[in-house]
Amino acid sequence: MYSVMRYYQGQTELAAELKKHGKEVEKAIGSVPGFMAYYLLHNSEGVTTITICDNRKGCDESTKVAADWLKKNLPNLRLPAPRVVTGEVSLSFDRVHATA
């Protein structure tokens, strides 16, 4: 399992736009082979999106899909390239999949 984080510094308005177009974003990112999950985090300093995929190829593809979607659908935001961090997930747990 791999994860990619895309950090858009200072782009606080991006969160509202992504939420507004949530179904479209879900369709685009969710179509990536091996897609598992997507998260949007925002605060006063910017926006971070996190995509989880089965493998690195899926994460790399999700970054390409995200960039293409933003360029096509939100051209007025004139977003700079995000800081991208990709890596293998070494430890994962959540309440949904916890075992007794």
| Domain assignment of residue 92, yes or no | no
Question: How many domains, the chain?
Answer: 1
Kindly tell me if the per-residue pLDDT of 96 is higher than 80.
no
Structure tokens at 87: 């890596």
| Domain assignment of residue 90, yes or no | no
Band of residue 99 on the pLDDT scale cut at 50, 70, 90: low
Q: Are 5 and 49 in contact (CB under 8 A)?
A: yes
| Domain assignment of residue 89, yes or no | no
Phi, psi of 67, deg, nearest 5: -60, -45
- Which residue would you say has higher pLDDT here, 29 or 96? 29
Going by C-alpha positions, the residue among 39, 35, 31 that lies closest to residue 69 is: 31
β-pair partners for 49: 6, 40
The CATH number of whichever domain residue 61 belongs to comes to 3.30.70.100
- d(C-alpha 24, C-alpha 22), whole Å: 5
Band of residue 54 on the pLDDT scale cut at 50, 70, 90: very high
| Domain assignment of residue 76, yes or no | yes
Q: Are 3 and 87 in contact (CB under 8 A)?
A: yes
